[in-house]
Amino acid sequence: MKYYTSTTEFNCGIDLHGRQMYICIMNREGKIFVHCNIQGNDFEYFLKKVAPYRHSLTVVCECIFNWYFLADACEVEGITFVLAHALYLKAIHGGKNKNDRIDSEKLAHLLRANLIPPSYVYPGEKRPVRALLRQRMTYVWRRAELLTRVTMGQLAEGMEPARHGHPGHRDPWEEQLMESYKNPLHQFGAQIDLKMIRLYDQMIEKLEAELLRITKRDACKEFNLLQTIHGVGNVLSLTILYEMHTVARFPTVKNFLSYARLVKGSVASAGKIKGLRGGKLGNPYLRWAFGEAAVIAKRSHPMLKEFAKRLEIKHGKFKANGILAAKLARAVYFMLRDGTAFDLEKLVATSI
């Protein structure tokens, strides 16, 4: 675990919420100068409170859903901002009492003691593109729920589910589905689901087109490099590209693998390993992308298929997929760092 080193005279801990934030400003010795609640997350009022100290001030808050506005506002005002990793801040949850006032003070104490585990502050100008990508994924999940609903409805009536086909060719599926239902209420319900599915098809297509347009304009080289990996198409390339942002933020390939949830930490005591932990620390979207890439890649090339079989014989199918995903992630790291295309023979030649 890495910790942020504060170099300013004053440190401000903020317990941030949706409609309020509790702030605590203290110096390097732990003397508190400001300790109050700010309703409505009024940043202008916050600037007035910190005005005597902002010449040498660092602000920290936990990584929660609405940290974006605070990070952007501090950047505009030239105030040093640190985003604390929420899962690592277990010290905040200790003690007999817990409230906003105590949490803000503990954050300030941890910051002045250089005990804040920092999270990556994703650049504000890039966040809208990543938000579009995650919005697309949400629509895909909802469309899958509707498709499953239609299939389960057919099975409940003792029918053979019709193949729903490609998003651009729903007509044959819709005709077969309508013909299979005899009850008009079943037909009515299926029609509503089908309209929703078609609408999701259209919106997902629009999102993909816009994401590809932006990517080919701003990150064409990196996108094309990712496309050289067998089985990695547009969606997986976009996910890897925007969830990692830049390979330069990872000092080593091990840091990248850890962030992608492809390695776990260990629990050891008295020289003995007691188990594993930390499987949910990292980026779930990258873990999904590399997991999908591993499954698709071994279907797309005979050499990868044979390599995957050898992994399965030695480690079992489930663990073999994780190993292949990690190897693909390692390849991606060096591809983007060095600007080179995917080398299949080099990946297969690595030890099993």
Residue ending a domain, among 49, 77, 112, is: 112
Whether 118 is in a domain gets the answer: no
- Both 104 and 145 in a single domain? no
DSSP structure class, residue 40: T
Residues spanned by the domain of 207: 127-218
DSSP structure class, residue 56: G
pLDDT of residue 91: 60
Whether 255 is in a domain gets the answer: yes
The answer to whether the beta carbons of residues 245 and 129 sit under 8 Å apart is no
Distance CA(61)–CA(22), nearest Å, equals 10
Whether 253 is in a domain gets the answer: yes
- Both 35 and 102 in a single domain? yes
Whether 192 is in a domain gets the answer: yes
Whether 14 is in a domain gets the answer: yes
- Both 144 and 231 in a single domain? no
**For the chain, how many structural domains are there in total?**
3
- What tens digit of pLDDT does each residue of 45-95 get? 999 999 999 999 999 999 999 999 999 999 999 999 999 998 888 766 667
Beta strands in 7-79 (DSSP E): 10-16, 20-27, 32-39, 57-62
- Both 17 and 57 in a single domain? yes
Q: Quick one: which of 288, 303, 298, 349 has its CA closest to 324? A: 298
The answer to whether the beta carbons of residues 333 and 253 sit under 8 Å apart is yes
First to last CA, the chain: 29
Whether 119 is in a domain gets the answer: no
The 3-class SS string of 256-314 reads HHHHCCCCCEEEEECCEEEEEECCCCCCHHHHHHHHHHHHHHHHHCHHHHHHHHHHHHH
pLDDT of residue 236: 96
- Both 255 and 337 in a single domain? yes
Spans of the chain, pLDDT less than 70 = 91-94, 275, 277-278, 351-352
pLDDT of residue 352: 57
Strand partners, 4: 116
- Both 202 and 142 in a single domain? yes
DSSP structure class, residue 5: -
Q: Cβ neighbours of residue 158 under 8 Å, at least 6 residues apart?
A: none
- Both 58 and 92 in a single domain? yes
Distance CA(84)–CA(88), nearest Å, equals 8
Whether 117 is in a domain gets the answer: no
- Both 230 and 343 in a single domain? yes
- Both 187 and 248 in a single domain? no
CATH assignment of the domain containing 44: 3.30.420.40
Whether 60 is in a domain gets the answer: yes
- Both 103 and 134 in a single domain? no
Instruction: Tell me how many degrees the CA angle 58-63-67 measures, rounded to the nearest 5.
Output: 75
pLDDT of residue 68: 96
H/E stretch holding 180 reads helix 171-180
pLDDT of residue 92: 65
273-312: b or e for each residue (b if 16 or more CB lie within 10 Å)? eeeeeeeeebeebbbbbbbbbbebbbeeeeebeebbeebb
